[in-house]
Every structure is written in structure tokens, then in C-alpha cells.
Amino acid sequence: DAGVTQSPTHLIKTRGQQVTLRCSPKSGHDTVSWYQQALGQGPQFIFQYYEEEERQRGNFPDRFSGHQFPNYSSELNVNALLLGDSALYLCASSRRQTYSNQPQHFGDGTRLSIL
Amino acid sequence: ELKVEQNPLFLSMQEGKNYTIYCNYSTTSDRLYWYRQDPGKSLESLFVLLSNGAVKQEGRLMASLDTKARLSTLHITAAVHDLSATYFCAGYLAYSGAGSYQLTFGKGTKLSVIP
């Protein structure tokens, strides 16, 4: 049973560029959340997708956007990259909270470096 | 807004010793999660605490939740080197109208167990 898979593993971009990160949730999961983890910090919630809609958003600017597809996979897009966007981006999946008390399952993350 | 504070942030302990990591949170949280992260790796779920007075144990780790004090603890018994990692607690905030939720993580406790 495949867990949460993310691609790519590493990415190097320059300031001002745009990036797309991808996530496939664990089998049986329909909800995807994205987190940004700066070096030495805890993950910070970016947003959550369910039924192809953004359901909740953390304190991140509109440069951060996402999408969820009918197969529950998701993308995170970041426009106009800044040096401060350098971080580990984690995708987590779960079943919709109404039906499950289980924890979110995290992928291995995408390490994004901005030069 | 839910805020989560962990202490200590760094912990160096000898093998065989006991210690406790504390997690305080600012507002009502239905659930409390503990995760482990090894260097360069993703987050691994350790415990999900669902109610006041909940206690869960796995090996040398035991977690508890006091919702009245807004406090969770992670107790380490007779530490071994393999427990060296960063431990995060995360509070859970549900948005019932939207059917969504988010996790708010503490900054993490970096544990080093010295032989």
C-alpha cells in the first residue's frame, strides 16, 4: 500500500520564477493538506483541499495556490518565488475528518531552494 | 488562532535516563498529535490523543493530554540512542462549517540521546 508520494524530491529555482509541486495521497484518503517547513522550524499550514476545492487556508499570500484533481492528487503552485520560500514542502493526506480520528500521513516532502 | 509551544526546544540526555517534553496550546483543541522527524526525513505519527485524560504508550514513549490545562506531555523512559530525533506536537482546529481542519505545530524538540 503506497503512502503519500511527492515529486520532485529536490528543486532549485531562482527568484521570480514559478514552481509546481505534486502530491499523491495515501490510498483511501481524500483530503490533502500542504505545509511549509523552514529549516529548524515546525511545519506551517498552507491550505487544505477536499472535493477539489480549497477548504481552509493558513497565513500565506496569494502567490501560493493549489489544485486537487478528481483522483484526489494535488498540486501546490508558488509564483514570483522569493528567497524566503526556500523550505521543505510537505504534503499530508487523510480521510475527511468527519469519518476518521486517524492522523494525517505525511509524504517525504519536496526540498525547494531559491537562489 | 491556535498557538502551540513546546519546551524544551533542545534536549540532550544520557541513555537510560527519563525526561518529559511539554506541549502547551492556547485555545481549545479537540485533539493533540505527536510526530517524530528524523533528519532529512518526513514526519512519522506517534500518537493521537482524542480526549481529556487520554494516555497512550508505545515502547519507551508515553503521551498524555490534559485539556483543562491545555497541556500534553511526551514522557521518555530509559532513553536509548534510537530515540534521537525531533519531536513535534500539533494541535487540531476544526472548522465545522467548512468541514475542514488544520494542524498547528510547535517548533519541535530536538532530542539527542548520548551513549
Burial class of A30 by CB neighbour count within 10 A (0 to 12, 13 to 18, 19+): middle
Q: What are phi and psi of A83, to 5 degrees?
A: -55, -35
How many whole angstroms separate alpha carbon A28 and alpha carbon A26? 6
Beta bridge mates, B88: B35
pLDDT at B53: 84
A-B CB pairs within 8 A amount to: 67
What would you measure as the largest C-alpha separation in chain A, in angstroms?
43
- Chain B neighbors of A42, CB-CB under 8 A: 4, 88, 90, 105-108
Q: What is the pLDDT of residues A16-44, one digit of tens each?
A: 999 999 999 999 999 999 999 999 899 99
- Chain A neighbors of B90, CB-CB under 8 A: 42
Q: What is the CA radius of gyration of chain A?
A: 13
How many whole angstroms separate alpha carbon B101 and alpha carbon B115? 41
pLDDT at B47: 95
Residue A97 has pLDDT above 80, yes or no: no
Span A100-108, mean pLDDT? 85
Task: Give A91→chain B minimum CA distance, Å.
Answer: 10
pLDDT at A99: 52
Cell of A48: 487544505
DSSP string, A3-19: --EEE-SEEEE-TT--E
A8: preceding bond cis by omega (within 30 degrees): yes
Of B43, B94, B107, the CB nearest to A97: B94
Q: Determine which of A25-29, A111-115, B24-28, B36-40 has the lowest per-residue pLDDT on average.
A: B24-28
With an 8 Å Cβ cutoff, are A104 and B108 in contact?
Answer: no
pLDDT at A100: 57
Instruction: Please give the mean pLDDT across all residues of chain B.
Output: 92
Cell of B22: 511539554
CB–CB of A15/A115 below 8 Å?
Answer: yes
DSSP 3-state helix, strand, coil percentages of chain B (rounded to 5)?
A: 5, 60, 40
CB–CB of A43/A34 below 8 Å?
Answer: no
